[in-house]
């Protein structure tokens, strides 16, 4: 069976409490990170231990890390990359020594996910994150910042922090003209360096796909389709080199067939973490996020879950971005309510698919932490 988790930003940065998370039916643990430590710095082992103790005290498990962010100079192949990679390895050791075995990260130059609206009103009165390529594709990074400032309702997207406008604009310039293959070479350098440590501690690395899954601002993007994922799998064949399969990110591009990607024999055994959520296409390079339920969006989550079960996926799963509902004021995408609905929906799909095949569900009673 899959292990249901929820992302938690930690005691200082998340309004949602572990007590609330634990009350979501079927919730087994959380995925968290030391968000206070900037990319490029080593995570102290005792800080990870502290975080783990907080989670366990609340009756949950700390099941994985999202994310240990990769410093831009590693992606860019800067002179100081070896030192930065050494720090990354120290962070992995801190995680491994605390018996945590999955790390989600991304290799997107400069930005994490990009949206043009963080609170698009939907007909049912909820709001959702939305992307409209017509608004930003073709804008300079500076213009994009101003656009986002108006769209964000006081919140910021990771990577688009307004006080970093100059720094980020300079970073974009560094990547100008870099090809996908050049970025891939830097990625391989990074993977080759960290894999021995990952193997030593059995840490499965799950790279998160580009979101949205197409090129933006002339930056190279190398994790946006089936072919890219296969290239990553072939780049370093260690069993620790794998994927965080994010259906909403890959699914932002209608050309990506999620069940087919999941069933690809080069990809399937390397899926270590699944972010399962839905998006609704509203035009070319235009979409907004929807509830997780299949018929409210463009992706068929039943087919996605069926494919995951068919390839034997028994790893960590979480709902991903949710809408803002029931008057919750939340970190964009990370409110409690819609993600909780998403989690129970995913559990329901898994139960139905497995029992439909004559399998027992749940088949590992120890993992059902929330059972009273
Ligand atoms: C997450 C990503 O919020 C999200 O969309 O799935 O931000 C993810 O945490 C990072 O890309 C992983 O490094
Ligand atoms: Mn995701």
Q: Report pLDDT digits (tens) over 43-83.
A: 999 999 999 999 999 999 999 999 999 999 999 999 999 99
Peptide bond into 362 cis (omega under 30): yes
Distance of alpha carbon 366 from alpha carbon 291, whole angstroms? 30
Range with the poorest average pLDDT among 93-107, 130-144, 273-287, 345-359: 130-144
**Residue 254 pLDDT exceeds 90:** yes
Question: Who surrounds ion ligand 2 at CB < 5 A?
Answer: 246, 275, 320
Confidence band (pLDDT; 50, 70, 90) for 365?
low
The ipTM (two decimal places) reads 0.96
- For ligand 1, which residues put their CB under 6 angstroms from it? 66-67, 104-106, 112-113, 158, 208, 211, 246, 275, 320, 333
Task: Please give the structure tokens belonging to residue 235.
Answer: 């780049």
Q: How far is the CA of 362 from the centre of ligand 2 (A)?
A: 25
pLDDT, tens only, 195-253:
999 999 999 999 999 999 998 888 899 999 999 999 999 999 999 999 999 999 999 99
CA 194 to mean position of chain CA atoms: 20
Domain count across the chain: 1
What is the domain range of residue 234?
3-370
**Residue 370 pLDDT exceeds 50:** no
Q: How far is the CA of 315 from the centre of ligand 2 (A)?
A: 15
Confidence band (pLDDT; 50, 70, 90) for 153?
low
**φ/ψ of residue 305, rounded to 5:** -65, -35
Distance of alpha carbon 326 from alpha carbon 125, whole angstroms? 9
* CATH number where 198 lies: 3.20.20.150
Task: Say if CB 324 and CB 290 are below 8 A apart.
Answer: no
**φ/ψ of residue 218, rounded to 5:** 70, 10
Distance of alpha carbon 341 from alpha carbon 337, whole angstroms? 6
Task: Specify the pLDDT at position 366.
Answer: 61
Task: Specify the pLDDT at position 80.
Answer: 96
Share of the chain above pLDDT 70, in %: 95
């Amino acid at each position: 069976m899959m292990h249901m988790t929820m992302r938690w930003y930690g005691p200082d940065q998340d309004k949602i409490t572990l007590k609330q998370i634990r009350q979501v039916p079927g919730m087994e643990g959380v995925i968290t990170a030391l968000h206070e430590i900037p990319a490029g710095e080593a995570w102290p082992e005792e800080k990870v231990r502290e975080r783990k103790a907080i989670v366990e005290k609340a009756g949950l498990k700390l099941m994985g890390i999202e994310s240990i962010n990769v410093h831009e100079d590693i992606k860019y192949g800067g002179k100081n990359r070896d030192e930065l990679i050494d720090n990354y390895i120290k962070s992995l050791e801190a995680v491994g020594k605390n018996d945590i075995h999955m790390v989600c990260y991304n290799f997107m130059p400069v930005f994490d996910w990009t949206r043009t609206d963080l609170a698009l009103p939907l007909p049912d009165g909820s709001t959702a994150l939305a992307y409209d390529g017509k608004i930003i594709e073709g804008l300079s990074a500076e213009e994009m910042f101003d656009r986002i400032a108006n769209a964000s309702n006081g919140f910021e997207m990771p990577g688009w922090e307004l006080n970093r406008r100059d720094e980020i604009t300079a970073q974009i310039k560094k990547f100008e003209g870099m090809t996908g293959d050049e970025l891939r070479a830097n990625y391989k350098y990074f993977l080759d360096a960290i894999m021995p440590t990952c193997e030593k501690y059995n840490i499965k690395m799950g790279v998160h796909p580009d979101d949205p899954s197409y090129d933006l601002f002339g930056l190279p993007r190398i994790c946006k389709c089936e072919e890219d994922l296969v290239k990553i799998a072939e780049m370093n064949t260690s069993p620790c080199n794998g994927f965080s399969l994010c259906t909403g990110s890959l699914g932002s591009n209608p050309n990506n067939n999620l069940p087919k990607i999941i069933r690809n024999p080069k990809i399937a055994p390397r899926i270590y973490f699944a972010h399962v959520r839905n998006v609704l296409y509203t035009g070319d390079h235009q979409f907004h996020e929807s509830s997780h339920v299949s018929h409210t969006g463009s992706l068929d989550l039943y087919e996605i879950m069926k494919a995951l079960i068919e390839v034997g996926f028994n790893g960590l799963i979480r709902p991903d971005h949710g809408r803002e509902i029931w008057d919750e004021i939340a970190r964009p995408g990370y409110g409690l309510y819609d993600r909780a609905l998403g989690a129970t929906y995913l559990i329901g799909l898994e139960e139905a698919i497995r029992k439909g095949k004559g399998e027992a569900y749940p088949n590992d009673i120890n993992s059902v932490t929330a059972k009273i």
